[in-house]
Amino acid sequence: MRKAREALSVAVLAVILTGCGLVPPLSARQADPPASPSRPGTTPAPATTPAPTPEPSSGAPRLTPAAAKKAAASWVAGYNKMIKKRGWWRDPALMVTLLGEAALHEAVIDRAHAEEDKKRTRKPIRLTGRQTYYVPREQPPGGEWFMLQATYRGEDRPHILSFWREAGTPSFVLAGKSPLHYGERVPEPRRDSGGYVTAAPRTVGTLLALEYQTFWNSPEHTSPAGATGYRLAKDNFSRRAFPEVYKGLYAAYRSFTPAYGFVTRKGGSFYLFSLLNNPQGVTQVLTVGALVPRGRKTIDEIAGDWYA
């Protein structure tokens, strides 16, 4: 575990050093509070108050696990077809059909690398082994989401992915993804008799994203309770990586994506969200899989991925 964490710190520093140039504005949510995503080439939409978690309903689920599995397979096929096209990152209309939020910003960074003759070839996604789907019975009023844990061919760690479909749109986009840290596991969710997970409160996920943003943007952390009442655990991966990154080489995070999450079997909560620096000139994306155990306000980091 120690070697893995040391390797993580070195990797973080390496990607920060790569840098990249400014790019046209793309979707992002302002940090306080989050805002709705905008399309490439447009000014990000004004910040809005996050929608409250809907009350339980006795109606039929809007998204079933079977439908989520079918949607994920369709997305993987479409993604692998898209990245075969030469210069696919130059076509915003193509990108937004499959990529959203943090994943869309990764594609923008790819475009910047290509323009600087620093090509970073994306590999096809080949899912292998067991796939675990996390589909909430209750969905937000603006659309549907689900998570998927799976292993990629050629990768030695499982990945956790989140998908989102905005109301009125035909297909899901990839909202965020991250490999699990070595030795970590996604916690077991609380499932009902139909296999649906219980969605975790969006407000808590927002507080976690704000805490991560505060942590990474501050050279000193004097409040033991954290800026939002939560705090990163002492052995949190970001806490260990911070000293290597915060040496004048780090671009502060200024926005974050929605946090998709579920209640764990033990009563805690698990979320996946991403942080972005300047949404009008994004050069790095940090995606985090964070766990808050029941009865605690310390944040354990299960997954993390820096892209720059």
- Percent of the chain's residues with pLDDT above 90: 53
Q: What are phi and psi of 103, to 5 degrees?
A: -65, -35
Average of per-residue pLDDT values in the chain: 80
> What pLDDT does residue 11 have?
37
> What pLDDT does residue 237 have?
93
Q: Please, which pLDDT band fits residue 69 given cuts at 50, 70 and 90? A: very high
> What pLDDT does residue 249 have?
67
274 forms beta bridges with 287
**pTM for this entry:** 0.80
Mean pLDDT over 123-132 rounds to 90
DSSP conformation class of 59: S
Which pair of structure tokens corresponds to residue 175? Answer: 């909202």
> What pLDDT does residue 221 have?
63
> What pLDDT does residue 112 have?
80
Least confidently predicted of 47-61, 73-87, 104-118, 159-173: 47-61
| pLDDT at position 133 over 50 | yes
More confident residue, 96 or 223: 96
Question: Which contacts qualify for 149-155: CB closer than 8 Å, 24 or more apart?
Answer: 149/186, 151/127, 152/125, 152/126, 152/127, 152/128, 153/126, 153/127, 153/128, 154/123, 154/126, 155/179
Q: Please, which pLDDT band fits residue 166 given cuts at 50, 70 and 90? A: very high
More confident residue, 69 or 14: 69
More confident residue, 126 or 4: 126
The Cα–Cα gap between 139 and 222 comes to 38
173-179 and 231-232: which strand pairing?
A: unpaired
Q: Please, which pLDDT band fits residue 129 given cuts at 50, 70 and 90? A: confident
Which pair of structure tokens corresponds to residue 168? Answer: 């009125």
Residue found by looking up tokens 């035909």 in the block = 170
Task: Give the 3-state secondary structure of residue 40.
Answer: coil
Nearest to 306 by CA among 253, 254, 259, 232: 253
C-alpha 212: how far from chain center = 13
Mean pLDDT over 87-97 rounds to 88
Q: Please, which pLDDT band fits residue 123 given cuts at 50, 70 and 90? A: confident
> What pLDDT does residue 59 have?
60
The Cα–Cα gap between 304 and 282 comes to 18
Q: Please, which pLDDT band fits residue 86 given cuts at 50, 70 and 90? A: confident
| pLDDT at position 118 over 70 | no
| pLDDT at position 50 over 70 | no
Q: Please, which pLDDT band fits residue 199 given cuts at 50, 70 and 90? A: very high
Mean pLDDT over 57-78 rounds to 89
More confident residue, 76 or 37: 76
| pLDDT at position 95 over 80 | yes
> What pLDDT does residue 184 have?
97
C-beta of residue 286 within 8 angstroms of C-beta of residue 209 = no
